[in-house]
Each structure stands twice: as structure tokens, then as C-alpha cells.
Structure 1
Amino acid sequence: MAVKNVFVAGHRGMVGRALCRALKKHSDVSLITANKADLDLTNQAKVIEFFNNNHIDEVYLAAAKVGGIHANNTYPGEFIYQNLMVQTNVIHSAHIGNVKKLLFLGSSCIYPKFADQPISEDALLTGALEPTNESYAIAKIAGIKLCESYRRQYGKDFRSVMPTNLYGPYDNFNPDNGHVIPALMHKFHKAIKSNKCHVEIWGSGNVRREFLHVDDLASACLHLMEQDDSVFWRGVNEHCSHVNVGSGVDCSIKELAETLKSITKFEGALHFNGSKPEGTPVKKLNISNILERGWAPSISLRSGLETVWRWYKSHSH
């Protein structure tokens, strides 16, 4: 069995770690990673040198600057600059380094704020974006289009996946900069430890979101990369080359908070602060494309939240 060299960019992040866990189960994979101290992905010369020094066959591009509504709203310059630089350097280096396959991980925030639900892949660039994370979304759209353009001009097998809202171990549990699930877990944990009588939740609680455990995303990514190019690209429009990955199920933030209250055994009240931003009213992906390709999620929201809550408690201080 031929061994392939697989580079996971962003291997210390939540998604990168999940990809590494999944890839390590394959005996035909030699995993390549690089710490930030050893490789600055925003430095094009260093990235090109890294690709020249490693005979890389496949790339999973999971490196990104990510955060919740507050972080996206507060640091738009950092979000657009860092993400544009990282993905451009890695994708271009993969091109000139003759990498056989690359998988770029985007985000469901690429879609218009008021896109028809559930959101299909061809909704991209059909309307205005959600203002609170526009900088991040534009960077991710540029990454998709870079992969598409290199395929059209150079015939590169550079694929893109658009995951829904993710959660899992090694997430960012900062209450200000993290996404909703880890931020809420932090709040519940702190409230329980300090015997608080309530937990504040941003927004009305009425907006709806779809959530996917990061290990389900990793299995979807490997499934898509294992499809040979004639299968993957069959029926894929060259101007719409990305594939949605989600759970196919959504819930309101109020329902999510109540589920977490039950799991954490918090006995206080939930206070919804309607003066805080809450983003797009509804966001659920149409995942019929990937379902037709033979993949389906396997981790329910409740069981996934339970395992992540146990992980968080064991790793929090």
C-alpha cells in the first residue's frame, strides 16, 4: 500500500485536531504538521519553502482565525487580513508544489444573510452578507474562488467544504470571543462554581442554528477527499465547487440553552439580553449534495454536547 504525505494546516485548532485524529486511523497516511513557531502561514516565502522541503501529496487547509459575533465585530481587519494571507499562501504553494489534492474548509457564513432555507451551495454571492462577520465571510469566499480558479486555469483538484456551526473538544471557550456553544458552556460552568442565580444569553433566543460535532466534519472531509476526481467533480458546477456539510437539524438558541442547562445541571434562570447582537435569523444548510455522496452525520446534538461538556470540565481550571 502506497503511503501518502498529508499536511494538515492548523492542526492545533479544533478542526485540525479532529482531522488529525481521523487521519491517524489510516495506515496509508504519513501525517505532516507544523507549529506556528516553526511556520508562519502568513509568510508566503516560508510557506513555499515548507512545501518545497516536504513531498506533500494532500492538504487539509483548516488553519484560520475564527471567533464568534463579538470577535468578528471587534477585529474585522485582523479577520480578513489573516485569513486571506493564510489561505492564499497555502493554496498557491500547493499549486506550485504540485500537490495532488487540497481540501479548503470554509464556513456557512459565506452565504447571504437572508438566503432561502435550507441554504444550498448555489446561494453563494446571491445577496448581502451578515454585517457582523462580513470580513471573515469575504475571506472565505475568496478561498473558495481561489480553489475554483486554480481548477479552471490549471486543472488542480482543489476542493472546498462549507461546514455549519461546529463544536467539539479544543474549541475556544472564551465567553467573549468564542462561538455560542463553548461560550455558553463557559458561562454555565462559571455560574455553577460561583453559585450564580442566572446566566445571561446574548439575543432573544429565537434565532435558529444548525450544529455539527467536529468529529462528524472530519469524517465528511475524509469521505470527500477519498472520492476520486471523476466521482467528486461529476455534476459539480465549476462555478459552485464547494460542498455543504451539516447535521440537517437546527434548533433555536433558547432550545440550545435549555439543553445545556439540563446537561450541566444548572439550577438558575436563563436571561436573554435582546440588546446584544445575534446575527442571521435562521441558518441551516441543505446537505442533500453530501448525503447523495454516501456520507451522513452520526453524532446527535444532545450526545455531542454531553461528551464536550465532560471534556470541558476535565480541562477547565
Structure 2
Amino acid sequence: MNSSRRMAIRPMTTTNNLPLDKDARIYVAGHRGMVGSAIERRLVAAGYSNVLARSHDELDLTNQADVFAFLREERPDFIFLAAGRVGGIHANNTYRADFIYRNLMIEANVIHGAWLAGVRRLLFIGSSCIYPRQCPQPIHEDYLLSGPLEKTNEPYALAKIAGVKLCESYNAQYGTSYFSVMATNLYGPNDNYDPDNSHVLPSLIRKAHDAKVTGSHELVVWGSGAPRREFLYVDDMADACVFLMERGLGDGLVNVGTGADLTIRELAEMVMDVVGFEGAIRFDSAKPDGTPRKLLNVDRMTEMGWQAKTGLREGIAKAYQDYLQRFGSPR
């Protein structure tokens, strides 16, 4: 791919006639997940008094009839669509049908149901994995669909790309104000620490903690340690989402990240330092590396006046405290 290639970015439209009032009805889809719960915390802290939420037991977002009925009855003014099936390389590559089916169904039901219910504005949350595997770095929003995807998470990426295009298409045909936010790798409170299905950073936190308390002399890390990744603390992501919704952005795609990355080896060393594990790192080269590098260009957010506040080491320390509170203190 020619790294000098860059298409013009179409500016987001604004809908300043649609204010995000403190008493507006705001539905957070996926409020029990890491991102959704952070958005709910951010909204409550900012004084929004009418936040709607339903657990999976109360509302299965893959059930079209139930989603449509809920949105017709509740008539939210604004929606944060943070629900979806997520996981690391192993989960994405193993449960490929689950990842594409559940994410397609959720976003199609919520977006179409939002239009039917007259929802004024919707923010769809995706992931940086929507961009091509061999993408020029840092990754601009206009690189979408410019090359092949990473094979290990292709079904999930295709589902998220479909969500972006759903928002664009409903805006074009029906004049809605639905826009998309693509996040870099997220971590923080309420993360998934499952050793097989979690993302790399929470997986490293759990592995380092387990190695420390069991007296192991090594930390096993998937792959070569060479890929570079960018990480954003989830409360910063929530702040960015509320910031964008409050600005009244009505169309388009915007990246949210820190603008800085590091190798997986460097990340593992930082996690070990935070956790207090002093053993050695052993890289399991039989496991896949995934995309060589994913660093987002965040110029659009910077130009709008938003930047991430939480440094990586500080965020890892907060995430480790969350892990200890949920799964037990060190032995």
C-alpha cells in the first residue's frame, strides 16, 4: 500500500439544534460492559439524570422484535451503542461465527430501531481493527476499506465496518444524525481478565499477578513481542464519547486514542513492574502476533480540543487495582 496515499476527509456535520440536555433520555446499550459502564459513570458524574439501561436478561439486543418494542416504548433521545461481542486474538479466531453474527444483529437492530423510534442522535462505537492489516501509520480515518483485513479478527472487523456503513447510509437516506467512533485498544475497570478470551493488556495483568502469587519464574507472552500497540484507558474513551455527543456531531467517523504506541515486549515489562513480578519473559512464538502495528491518527480529536488524560503506567496501575478488587488481593 502506498503510504503517501491519503484521501480527503469529509468533515463531520454538526447538529447544534439537537442539544444534549441534562434531562434528556439517554440509552446506553451495553452498560454492563467495560465501555458502556464507563460511559454510564461519565454521564452520571456530569449530571445527566435520565440514563436508560437494560441488562442482557432484560433485553436481548439480537432479538429484533424486543429491541424495536423497547425503543418504541422508551423513546430515548440519544443512544450510545457500546454493546457487542468482544475478545482477544484467541476468542476472535475461535468464535468467528459468534463474533460476526452477534455484532451484526446488535448493531442492525439498534440502529434501525433507533430510526423507527425517532432517536435524535446515535454514537456507534467500533474498533481500530476495522482498518487494513498493512495500513500506513498512523492510521487515518480515510484508510477504511483500502486493503485486506487482519485474518484473525476479520469477522469482528467486518461487523464493525457494517455498523459504520449503517450509520452513514441511514444519514444519507433518512437524514439521521448517527456517527461512529473507532477506539484503539481499551483497558480499565470492568475489563475481561479471562486467560483465553481477553485482550492482551488484561491478559498480561492476570498472568503477571498469577506468576507473582504462585512463585513462578517466568511470564509467558503470546507471539514474538515485536508488534506495536496503542492503549487507551476506558474512562478517557467514555469522556471522548460524551464530548463528541455534546458537540452535536451528526455524521462521519473519528478515531479516539492516545497517539502513542509501544511494543508488546515493552508493555509486558511495564505490567510486570506495576504488578511487582520480577521473573523473566518467555515469548510463545507458536502463537499469532496479529497485526504488526495499529497506531491511530487522532488529529481530528485534537483539533476539536480533546486529548486523553491518563498515562499508560497510571492506567495499568488503576486496572490492576480493579483486578485485585474483583478477583482477590495478592497472597
TM-score scaled by length of structure 2: 0.91
1:244 aligned counterpart, secondary structure: strand
- Measured in 2, the distance between the counterparts of 1:277 and 1:132 equals 9
Unaligned runs of at least 5 residues, structure 2: 1-20
What is aligned with 2:8? Answer: none
The answer to whether the Cα contact below 8 Å between 1:59 and 1:102 also exists between their aligned partners in 2 is: yes
What is aligned with 1:137? Answer: 157
The answer to whether the Cα contact below 8 Å between 2:22 and 2:47 also exists between their aligned partners in 1 is: no
What is aligned with 1:188? Answer: 208
- Residue 122 (structure 1) aligned with residue 142 (structure 2): yes
RMSD: 1.0
What is aligned with 1:13? Answer: 33
Residues 171, 2 of structure 1: CA spacing in aligned structure 2 closer, same or farther, 3 A cutoff? Answer: closer
The answer to whether the Cα contact below 8 Å between 1:6 and 1:29 also exists between their aligned partners in 2 is: no
Residue deviations 1:267-294 (CA, integer Å, cap 9, x gap): 2111011121010111100000111111
The answer to whether the Cα contact below 8 Å between 1:207 and 1:282 also exists between their aligned partners in 2 is: yes
1:137-176 matches, within 5 Å, as: 137-176=157-196
Letter in 1 for 2:299: S
- Measured in 2, the distance between the counterparts of 1:28 and 1:214 equals 19
Percent identity reads 51
What is aligned with 2:295? Answer: 284
2:257 to 213, 228, 246: 246
What is aligned with 2:71? Answer: 51
Letter in 2 for 1:69: I
Letter in 2 for 1:83: N
Residues 194, 227 of structure 1: CA spacing in aligned structure 2 closer, same or farther, 3 A cutoff? Answer: same
What is aligned with 1:256? Answer: 267
Letter in 2 for 1:192: K
Q: Structure 1 segments of 4 or more deviating over 6 A?
A: none
Higher relative contact order, structure no. (Cα contacts within 8 Å, ≥ 6 residues apart): 2
Unaligned runs of at least 5 residues, structure 1: 234-240
- 1:27 deviation in Å? 2.6
2:104 to 80, 84, 91: 84
- 1:23 deviation in Å? 0.4
- Measured in 2, the distance between the counterparts of 1:11 and 1:76 equals 24
Residue deviations 1:38-76 (CA, integer Å, cap 9, x gap): 101000000000011102000000000000000000000
- Measured in 2, the distance between the counterparts of 1:46 and 1:35 equals 13
What is aligned with 2:9? Answer: none
State the number of aligned residues: 308
2:56 to 36, 53, 59: 36
What is aligned with 1:236? Answer: none
1:171 aligned counterpart, secondary structure: coil
TM-score scaled by length of structure 1: 0.95
The answer to whether the Cα contact below 8 Å between 2:26 and 2:78 also exists between their aligned partners in 1 is: yes
Residue deviations 1:249-306 (CA, integer Å, cap 9, x gap): 1000000000011111102111011121010111100000111111111000010001
- Measured in 2, the distance between the counterparts of 1:313 and 1:265 equals 13
- Measured in 1, the distance between the counterparts of 2:103 and 2:288 equals 23
Residue deviations 1:179-218 (CA, integer Å, cap 9, x gap): 0010011111111121111110001101000000000000
